[in-house]
Amino acid sequence: MQDEGSPAPTRRADLIDQLRRLGRVDLAVIGGGATGLGVALDAAARGFSVLLVESHDFAKGTSSRATKLVHGGVRYLAQGNIALVREALHERTTLLANAPHLAQPLPFVMPSYRFWEAPFYGIGLKLYDALAGKAGLGATEFLSRSQTLALLRNAQAEGLKGGVKYWDGQFDDARLALALARTAAQQGALLVNYCAATGLVHANGKLVGLQLRDQETGEEFSVQAGCVVNAAGVWVDQFRLQDGRAIGRQTAPMVAPSQGVHIVVDRSFLPGDHALLVPKTADGRVLFAVPWLGKTILGTTDTSRLDLAREPLPFKEEIDFILRESARYLSRAPGTEDIKSIWVGLRPLVKPLEDDAEKTQALSREHTVLVSKSGLVTVTGGKWTTYRAMADDVMRKCFDNSLLAERTGIATGSLRLVGAQASTVKISDVPGLHLYGNEAAAVQALPGADRELGGGLTEAMVRFAVRHEYARCVEDVLARRSRLLFLDAALAASLAPEVARLMREEGIVEPGLEPFLALCQQYLHIPEA
């Protein structure tokens, strides 16, 4: 276990060397998104030896592309799924306590334009408060027309009747993923990004290990594992199908991906620190406008698609929908020229399975854990907010299926994540050192502490990202250590050459400047048809 006092180094050569010498672990995890990182932390905190491999960067998949809400899920309440909401509300409290520098309460306002909306939604939200009980972040309030306009200064005033204010949470998803990775490392797990699982190793019909490849050098490794957890998000099926073939079982794909698009515009479109929620747009969808890191996020969509692109492109209809609906609720509405970034994520929605080769257990949440005949544990679905509860379920399945001998260890419910420190600066405010929590002083101790490159990013933060946060290329720094690609892709592109230069100084020979500049163009590209 590492010293908790100072930030641990994440030198690539050391990580790869540990991987070479690993031999066997109790538990190996495929995928470094919210789900896999949660499992790695839970297992390491229980004292198991753990390896997690991520083929790209931590949170490069869906886990950096969320709406950034830590929420109980008002939507599930409308569906009558009380147990699910209660659990998510519980997890919301846990996350806000264990990572207060990265997850905080956020007030929401639902403006109402029809006389029945405020009482209808308000009563539902009072029930939401009641379910939260002591975990409540603030009481739901009915607002007059003028109170609504005071909180949402750019709301469409015409036809406005009033509103309802309620509380949920918001977070920085990619930085939370890093905090999970680094906390898991503190608990003794080995986590390696840019290292792909390339195959499953079976012996006598049982899964006994993984084949791996260092994506930077092409070096191959083989690791034995008592238990393999497949947490590859929308990409889980490749391993399930491979597992099925190896043991002679028909296996049907379980993931039906659905794409969600967000666009980012200036904060002046949502001045103040309240989010706006439209529970039912003209065509029955949900629309959010959320203040985040000094900008406004508008979204999202839910469009099924068959391919599993790493960087999926938005459809024109999705951008049109977000802008059109925003214009109905904002008096000064953004146009395409106001878009600072567009990002697209894939939800791993789970199809009903009839395959009797696997025990399908749709748990009391939206996620699914499957254990195959060979012992491959697949977990997918769910949401960021409930990652910890999902991890707990995965461990339970491992114990129930005798893949691991039960251990209790440190309970993750009260395990504070790396950097945890309460802050008076809000997540919705311009990014800065507050996101580093109690590690801010360690960042400031590095060269270039006072040299801001732009958008709140300093030279010292770039150096910290390479030395302590597993950053390997410009995209890692500008998309997930800082969030500038998501906030303002043109600004990110303009800072990229200097970030690349600093990374070279930190010993990274090829920091991937050109591919990052191309990605910035993609995040600014507005589809035409």
Closest CB 55 distance from ligand FAD, rounded Å: 4
Binding of residue 53 to ligand FAD (CB under 6 A): yes
Cβ closest to ligand FAD, residue 42 vs residue 459: 42
Report d(CA 314, CA 106) in Å as an integer.
28
133-65-191 Cα angle (round to 5): 90
Shorter beta-carbon distance to ligand FAD: residue 55 or 140: 55
Residues 384-443 that bind ligand FAD (CB under 6 A): 384-385
Among 12, 25, 36, 104, binds ligand FAD (CB under 6 A): 36
Residue 305 is a binding residue for ligand FAD (CB under 6 A) = no
Which one, 340 or 463, has the nearer CB to ligand FAD?
340
Distance CA 228, CA 197 (A): 11
Among 111, 169, 226, 345, binds ligand FAD (CB under 6 A): 345
Give yes or no for residue 291 binding ligand FAD (CB under 6 A).
Answer: no
Answer whether 95's CB lies under 8 Å from 169's CB: yes
* Interface of this chain with ligand FAD, residues 347 to 366, rule: CB under 6 A: 347-348
90 binds ligand FAD (CB under 6 A): no
Stretch that binds ligand FAD, among 28-36, 152-160, 404-412, 435-443 (CB under 6 A): 28-36
197 binds ligand FAD (CB under 6 A): yes
> Least distance (Å) from ligand FAD to the CB of residue 145?
29
Query: Residues in contact with ligand FAD, total (CB under 6 A)?
Result: 37
Q: What is the dihedral of CA 397, 401, 404, 405, to 10 degrees?
A: 100
Instruction: Verify binding: residue 180, ligand FAD, rule CB under 6 A.
Output: no
Residue 36 vs 111, nearer CB to ligand FAD: 36
CA atoms within 13 A on the CB side of 83: 4
230 binds ligand FAD (CB under 6 A): no
Q: How far is the CB of 302 from ligand FAD (least distance, A)?
A: 8
CA–CA distance, 520 with 98 (Å, rounded to integer): 33
Give the nearest distance from C-beta 433 to ligand FAD in angstroms.
25
Strand partners, 209: 201, 224
Could you tell me which stretch among 104-112, 341-349, 353-361, 468-476 binds ligand FAD (CB under 6 A)?
A: 341-349
Question: What is the per-residue binding string for ligand FAD in 65-84, x denoting contact by CB under 6 A?
Answer: xxxxx---------------
Is residue 193 at the binding interface for ligand FAD, with CB under 6 A as the rule?
Answer: no
Give the Å distances, CA to CA, from 170 to 72, 96, 457: 11, 9, 21
CA distance 256 to 381: 10
Segment interacting with ligand FAD, rule: CB under 6 A, options 27-35, 118-126, 402-410, 427-435:
27-35
- b/e sequence 465-477, b meaning 16+ C-beta within 10 Å: bbbbbbbbbbbbb
Tokens representing 506? 């930190």
Could you give the 3-state DSSP secondary structure of residue 227?
Answer: strand
* Buried-exposed string 427-464: b where 16+ CB fall within 10 A, e elsewhere: bbbebbbbbbbebbebbeebebbeeebebbbbbbbbbb
Query: Interface with ligand FAD includes 103 (CB under 6 A)?
Result: no
Tokens of 349: 């929605």
Three-state DSSP at 129 gives helix
Kindly state the helix (H) or strand (E) to which residue 27 belongs, with its residue range: strand 24-30
Q: Using the minimum distance from each CB to ligand FAD, give the nearer residue, 1 or 306.
A: 306
For residue 142, the minimal CB distance to ligand FAD (Å) is: 25
Binding residue for ligand FAD, selected from 167, 221, 235, 329, defined by CB under 6 A: 235
Smallest distance from ligand FAD to CB 175, Å: 14
Pairwise CA distance, residues 481 & 461, whole Å: 8
Q: Which single residue is written with the structure tokens 């507005």?
A: 526
Q: Among 136, 382, 456, 511, which residue interacts with ligand FAD (rule: CB under 6 A)?
A: 382
Does 56 bind ligand FAD (CB under 6 A)? Our answer is yes
User: Hey, which bits of 422-490 come out as E strands?
Assistant: 452-454, 457-458
380 binds ligand FAD (CB under 6 A): yes
Q: How far apart are CA 361 and CA 370, in angstroms?
A: 7
Binding of ligand FAD by 209 (CB under 6 A): no
Give the residues lining the site for ligand FAD (CB under 6 A): 30-36, 53-56, 60-63, 65-69, 196-197, 231-233, 235, 260, 300, 345-348, 380, 382-385
